[in-house]
């Protein structure tokens, strides 16, 4: 028997960005030096998407995460290549931005079970209405919201993040999915947007994960990953994780076979980052075996973390070593990154917003950033990198972990000409921007390597506290991280140690 889940979406499409020029999506690399410390390289931005070579980095030759050239004239996004070695450039085109979409209402009241409604549309289109009513649920979140051309959809109870909590009551989890009390469905944690296929969702950030519960002896994922060859970690019933990789044109990915007949829990975790991984589209879960099918997913945990960072937070090269044959992407695994490790240790959802080579003031290889530099403050607002904006009401983390600075320091200390302190100023401004979105979150600013960078982070904390911020601290993992993975990034042991240290801190500061 072939059973499928129904997925309803509740995602607000805000204004979408448009870029100028023409870009190239071809990846080019040039060799560059590596140093000790685990930082990464990005390519330069240009109107033609051309490569800027990375150069050496005394803080540690890491991943080349090209942010590429920016272009308009498209309606599509092409997240380009990045250099595979430390110091290499890698170009990336970012095509024309997609058109502005219609917003959706977050629901009215439902007589029962839960209904997630909505979806989004391109200019002039109406939002879709998904789901059906059942009996016995709670009241939805009420009001409506419209933007360019989009119409409000109606619904029942809706969790913050677009998913239905098991039992039909609202929860916060930053997730997307469907299912009321006893209803089948999935719970997707991470930033997503409506996909092109009916009922599907798209995503590009690392660490987006599908959570489900099903009966049967096997399971597959219906999807469209283009030619991205993304890597996913699959965990069934909390057992040994396994990694699967998509192939070009694949529409169904076998996740597990030969299971004992009964009920099983499933996690499917995207390991690859937005560049070069591009957009993945999740359509459904299917092929459960005779008599099998989806049942209501487990309830979302009441603990929520957001991790913001560079390749160190992506988990770049974690499964590799100094040799790194074939390039760093083959060894990248966000499931093994410190933020994911810490979240599992404290039973929390985690959303990861991370991009190799990125900084808070300047990216790797830059001395002075340009207007086209896609630093984290510019990339952070997006659900789909650089094209579709995120609705921050959909996920409200209790803790925000930020690990930025390794690439800012790739060309030396940015703040060596007092009173000018561009790195510290950019970091303070970025945190204040995030604070405006998350009124109650606790901020943990990670120090990786000590020295001058630790001094700068402590200055950032002091500035914030002097202005009245009370929920912020610096936390160093310099004593436990290592540079034994690809391009001197932390390997599995290093990331695990960092995650364990962070989990211990979370238990102390949050009482988890």
- Residue range(s) in the chain whose domain bears CATH number 2.60.120.260: 183-295
* Top-level class of domain 183-295: mainly beta
According to the model, what pLDDT value does residue 155 have?
Answer: 28
Beta strands in 425-467 (DSSP E): 442-447
CATH of 304-510, one of 3.40.50.1110, 2.115.10.20, 3.40.50.2300, 3.40.50.720: 3.40.50.1110
Beta strands in 370-479 (DSSP E): 382-384, 388-389, 399-403, 442-447, 472-476
Helix axes 492-510, 338-345, angle to 10 degrees: 50
Provide the 3-class DSSP secondary structure of residue 7. coil
Query: Sign of the C-alpha dihedral, residues 298, 332, 404, 451?
Result: positive
The structure tokens listed for 354 are 């991370």
The CA-atom distances, in angstroms, between 78 and each of 29, 66, 69, 75, 364 are: 18, 12, 10, 10, 21
- Residue range(s) in the chain whose domain bears CATH number 3.40.50.1110: 304-510
Question: What residues pair up with 36 in beta bridges, in sequence order?
Answer: none
Give φ, ψ of 297 to 5 degrees: -70, 160
Which residues contact residue 83 at a Cβ distance below 8 angstroms, ignoring those fewer than 6 apart?
27, 28, 29, 30, 32, 41, 43, 51, 53, 54, 63, 64, 66, 89, 90
Which residues contact residue 416 at a Cβ distance below 8 angstroms, ignoring those fewer than 6 apart?
none
Q: Give me the DSSP letters along 135-169.
A: SS--B--------TT------S---BTSPPPTTS-
From first to last of its 512 residues, the chain has per-residue pLDDT tens of 444 443 333 333 333 333 333 333 333 333 333 333 444 443 333 333 333 333 333 333 333 333 333 333 333 333 333 333 333 333 333 333 333 333 333 333 333 333 332 333 333 333 333 333 333 333 333 333 333 333 333 222 223 333 333 333 223 334 444 433 456 899 999 999 999 988 899 999 999 999 999 999 999 999 999 889 999 999 999 999 999 999 999 999 999 999 999 999 999 999 999 988 899 999 999 999 999 999 999 999 999 999 999 999 999 999 999 899 999 999 999 999 999 999 999 999 999 999 999 999 999 999 999 999 999 999 999 999 899 999 999 999 999 999 999 999 999 999 998 899 999 999 999 999 999 999 999 999 999 999 999 999 999 999 999 999 999 999 999 999 999 999 999 999 999 999 999 999 999 999 99
Whole-model pTM: value is 0.71
Minimal CA–CA distance to 10: which of 172, 162, 168, 142? 162
Rounded Cα–Cα distance for residues 355 and 384 (Å): 13
Give φ, ψ of 246 to 5 degrees: -80, 160
DSSP state of 448: S
The structure tokens listed for 305 are 């973390």
Beta strands 263-270; 209-215: pairing state: antiparallel
Which residues contact residue 453 at a Cβ distance below 8 angstroms, ignoring those fewer than 6 apart?
405, 406, 409, 447
Minimal CA–CA distance to 315: which of 273, 279, 343? 273
């Amino acid at each position: 028997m072939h059973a499928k889940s129904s997925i309803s979406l509740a995602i607000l499409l805000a204004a979408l960005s448009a870029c100028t020029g023409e870009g190239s999506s071809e990846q080019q690399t040039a060799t560059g030096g590596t140093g000790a410390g685990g930082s990464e390289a990005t390519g330069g931005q240009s109107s033609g998407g051309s490569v800027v070579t990375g150069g050496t980095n005394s803080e540690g030759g890491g991943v080349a995460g090209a942010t590429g050239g920016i272009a308009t004239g498209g309606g599509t996004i092409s997240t380009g290549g990045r250099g595979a070695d430390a110091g290499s450039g890698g170009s990336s085109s970012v095509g024309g931005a997609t058109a502005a979409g219609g917003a959706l209402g977050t629901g009215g009241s439902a007589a029962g079970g839960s209904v997630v409604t909505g979806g989004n549309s391109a200019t002039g289109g109406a939002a879709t209405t998904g789901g059906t009513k059942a009996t016995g649920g709670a009241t939805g979140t009420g009001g409506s919201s419209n933007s360019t051309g989009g119409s409000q959809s109606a619904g029942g109870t809706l969790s913050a993040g677009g998913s239905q909590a098991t039992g039909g009551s609202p929860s916060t989890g930053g997730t997307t999915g469907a299912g009321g009390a006893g209803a089948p469905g999935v719970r997707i944690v991470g930033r997503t947007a409506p996909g092109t296929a009916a009922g599907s969702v798209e995503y590009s950030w690392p660490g987006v994960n599908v959570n489900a519960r099903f009966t049967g002896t096997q399971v597959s994922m219906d999807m469209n990953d283009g030619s991205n060859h993304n890597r996913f970690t699959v965990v069934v019933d909390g057992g040994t994780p396994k990694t699967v990789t998509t192939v070009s044109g694949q529409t169904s990915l076998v996740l597990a076979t030969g299971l004992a007949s009964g009920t099983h829990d499933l996690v499917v975790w995207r390991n690859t980052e937005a560049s070069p991984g591009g957009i993945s589209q999740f359509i459904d879960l299917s092929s459960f075996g005779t008599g099998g099918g989806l049942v209501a997913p487990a309830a979302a945990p009441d603990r929520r973390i957001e991790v913001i960072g560079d390749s160190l937070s992506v988990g770049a090269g974690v499964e590799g070593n100094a040799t790194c044959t074939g390039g760093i992407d083959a060894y990248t695994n966000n499931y093994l990154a410190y933020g994911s490790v810490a979240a599992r240790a404290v039973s929390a959802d985690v959303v990861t917003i991370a991009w190799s080579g990125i900084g808070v003031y300047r990216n790797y290889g830059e001395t002075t950033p340009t207007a086209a530099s896609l630093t984290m403050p510019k990339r952070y607002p997006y659900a789909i990198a650089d094209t579709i904006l995120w609705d921050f009401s959909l996920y409200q983390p209790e803790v925000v972990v930020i690990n930025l600075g390794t690439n800012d320091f790739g060309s030396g200390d940015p703040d060596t000409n007092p009173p000018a302190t561009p790195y510290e100023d950019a970091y303070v401004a970025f945190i204040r921007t995030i604070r405006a979105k998350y009124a109650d979150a606790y901020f943990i600013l990670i120090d990786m390597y000590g020295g001058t960078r630790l001094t700068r982070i402590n200055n950032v904390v002091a500035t914030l506290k002097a202005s009245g911020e009370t929920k912020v601290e610096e936390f160093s993992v310099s004593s436990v991280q290592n540079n034994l993975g690809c391009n001197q990034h932390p390997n599995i042991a290093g990331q695990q140690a960092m995650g364990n240290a962070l989990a211990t801190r979370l238990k102390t500061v949050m009482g988890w």
